[in-house]
Structure 1
């Protein structure tokens, strides 16, 4: 799962191209037999996502739920990177998408210090983003999809490591890491983490891999002992990985919430009431389960989302 946040120079081209892709999918229509109301009749547009499983699931959950209340929305999961997805929102090409408080606070709002209290962090992000960018944040889900480092459990026991401070004390040849390219340049990523924990290893100790590959590489242990992972990823449990405790609380809180154009929200304020039916259900543990259905079991995100909404009586 992922959080691609690197702003490519070709962002505008990526966004334009993504909307031409025929793979843009629609959620359940307003006439779906599970429709609960017509509260959002007349609401049209695109629900977007970043390019990892959790985001795909969240996008389909939102599209299908809002459509069940009278909207007529489609889903686009084709953009690459957080910055491109965010730009699609601010350029009014996306009606909305799910974002994380830590990402918005550090990357978009350009703050250098995260707020460790989740509620205070959310309130600060929501207030600033609305004022500066006319982006409205719905009430957040409990899930915290923060960064973490994991190691295969057998190796964790062998090395005697439980925290990132323990990792920093290991011999240099055991301090090997697999990270994604975006994480390698973020202030709330590798540069900041090394400084916070005093990790000083040569570049040869760090492998840049795609997000999904990191999990299997960490489980195998050939490329690295420690892999950059995300708290809500279902592969952590499935691959028997042990997450290192962030004992210095370096990583920000990445609480998830649906973000949208404020102008649209002002026209359809009942979106908040509809989203309030879903968001409280999405705990870290629940997202791990949903993500595992996609990343471990191979199910389609759209199917996972629809089944969850049916199971919870929301559509």
Structure 2
């Protein structure tokens, strides 16, 4: 409780901003979904076969996993609010359409006949008889859609749309239960509040409910328009993968750019997702810069290239050349530290089976229950390549987010995890890292990755970001990661402090 109160006290304005983002995202999505689903149900109310086909289509769309849907939308419409709203609308259409159609088609036929007998036109019958009688069912569908939207909108933080999902993701990634609870509880409260508001709307007359909805549309549209005019568009978008380390790096990039170029605005998108997810966003122009590692470039991003050697300098040059020739991307100078993959086991497990190297795992592979990061599990420089090089086949492998896998090994749920050489959890949980005795893992040095087009438009970015070249040692990064992940300090604060202490900021 003390941690929660501390977060509320120190990050109150940020939390309020995230609540506003979540509400705006949810209301806009709900209104668009209602404007699509309700008229569609009205049009199809007398066409049963077409209505059934539409119900099947909306049901199928709702079964698409939200992360997969976001991944599909990013190359088409970019990142941020637009793909998030599209995904939420897709999920919300089905319950509103289903309930509206059910409400309109279950009206007592005697009332329909009476309306016709009194000479009511089709339009008058719709607005005076059918829609008022169907309103309770329509409101019920809207309420279901609203709860669904608020819950699903937490995933919008993965693609830079903000909202309360930011705190849930940060809580998971930094092992900070206070952030996790704040994000989850506030999302639940929003669902309850808006559910109650929609119930109140349902008790109004059809005319009054229409006035309230019209007013809401005008207010949201006016506010969105005002923000568009009042807030200039951000020039540079800097994104990072999941975890504390990428968040530290993107905040360093932001501070350096804004310090050297005060007229240039920068937005950071932390915890954006995995490698392929982020690289697609960079290619589509949705992201301008993100930190990438040399080994990952050669093993997972470029085609037909392998690490020239285990010399970090040579590996960087090969990665830089391949990115430029294949994708017209600029890869600036790397930092000093290497954040390579490693495999870790508990001290007791290592002692019991005399494990010191990765090759030692062959003798006990049938006893290994691994917990791997999704990236490590699927990319060539991770488990697929490792298992081939060492001829390993573990008893079971589960994928889980970085902070969760360390908790899993600490609680005995798994007995082997992947990690990075700069992870503070190795020390926190007293784990033993196994030596890569066949030198499978290539060098991993982090450096800013961007398109050549951006660098041509803004050549001033090169000297600014190259200030980090050769800086940030492994010890530096371990200490900063520890402060963010274990001590729960803000990544932006820790990053700025490092830059000031090393003379890179005033």
Superposition TM-score, scaled by structure 1 size:
0.83
Asked if residue 48 in structure 1 is aligned to residue 48 in structure 2, the reply is: no
Residue number in structure 2 paired with 1:244: 434
| Counterpart contact for 2:345–2:433, Cα < 8 Å | yes
| Counterpart contact for 1:181–1:209, Cα < 8 Å | yes
| Counterpart contact for 1:207–1:223, Cα < 8 Å | no
**For the structure 1 residues 171 and 22, does the alpha-carbon distance in structure 2 shift closer, same or farther, using more than 3 Å as the test?**
closer
Residue number in structure 1 paired with 2:425: 235
| Counterpart contact for 2:294–2:316, Cα < 8 Å | yes
Asked if residue 211 in structure 1 is aligned to residue 402 in structure 2, the reply is: yes
**For the structure 1 residues 67 and 164, does the alpha-carbon distance in structure 2 shift closer, same or farther, using more than 3 Å as the test?**
same
**C-alpha displacement of 1:164:** 0.3
Determine which structure has the larger strand proportion and give its number: 1
Residue number in structure 1 paired with 2:317: 123
**C-alpha displacement of 1:200:** 2.7
**C-alpha displacement of 1:127:** 0.9
Residue number in structure 1 paired with 2:290: 97
Residue number in structure 2 paired with 1:291: 481
**For the structure 1 residues 167 and 236, does the alpha-carbon distance in structure 2 shift closer, same or farther, using more than 3 Å as the test?**
same
Asked if residue 79 in structure 1 is aligned to residue 272 in structure 2, the reply is: yes
Q: Could you tell which deviates more after superposition, 291-300 or 187-196?
A: 187-196
Task: Write the mapping of 1:163-242 to structure 2, written as runs, cut at 5 A.
Answer: 163-170=357-364, 172-173=366-367, 175-202=368-395, 205-220=396-411, 222-242=412-432
Deviation string 1:40-82 (CA, Å, 9 cap, x unpaired) is xxx9311111122111110001101111001321212252222
1:148 maps to which of 342, 346, 351: 342
**C-alpha displacement of 1:99:** 0.6
**C-alpha displacement of 1:272:** 2.5
Q: Could you tell which deviates more after superposition, 112-121 or 88-97?
A: 112-121
Residue number in structure 2 paired with 1:67: 258
**For the structure 1 residues 171 and 194, does the alpha-carbon distance in structure 2 shift closer, same or farther, using more than 3 Å as the test?**
closer
Whole-Å Cα distance in 2 between the matches of residues 128 and 194 of structure 1? 26
Structure 1: 5+ residue runs without aligned partners?
A: 1-6, 25-42
| Counterpart contact for 2:297–2:319, Cα < 8 Å | yes
In the alignment of these two chains, the number of paired residues is 287
2:162 maps to which of 21, 36, 40: 21
Residue number in structure 2 paired with 1:30: none
Whole-Å Cα distance in 2 between the matches of residues 105 and 171 of structure 1? 28
Q: Could you tell which deviates more after superposition, 183-192 or 11-20?
A: 11-20
SS of equivalent to 1:56: helix
**C-alpha displacement of 1:247:** 0.5
| Counterpart contact for 2:242–2:274, Cα < 8 Å | yes
Q: Could you tell which deviates more after superposition, 226-235 or 179-188?
A: 179-188
**C-alpha displacement of 1:89:** 1.6
Structure 2: 5+ residue runs without aligned partners?
A: 1-66, 85-158, 167-233
Asked if residue 159 in structure 1 is aligned to residue 353 in structure 2, the reply is: yes
**For the structure 1 residues 145 and 208, does the alpha-carbon distance in structure 2 shift closer, same or farther, using more than 3 Å as the test?**
same
2:301 maps to which of 108, 111, 117: 108
Q: Could you tell which deviates more after superposition, 124-133 or 186-195?
A: 186-195
| Counterpart contact for 2:335–2:447, Cα < 8 Å | yes
Residue number in structure 1 paired with 2:71: 11
Whole-Å Cα distance in 2 between the matches of residues 208 and 285 of structure 1? 28
Larger radius of gyration: 2
Q: Could you tell which deviates more after superposition, 265-274 or 288-297?
A: 265-274
| Counterpart contact for 1:144–1:231, Cα < 8 Å | yes
SS of equivalent to 2:499: helix
**C-alpha displacement of 1:281:** 1.9
**C-alpha displacement of 1:22:** 5.5
| Counterpart contact for 2:365–2:392, Cα < 8 Å | no
Whole-Å Cα distance in 1 between the matches of residues 409 and 307 of structure 2? 28
| Counterpart contact for 2:305–2:322, Cα < 8 Å | no
SS of equivalent to 2:356: coil
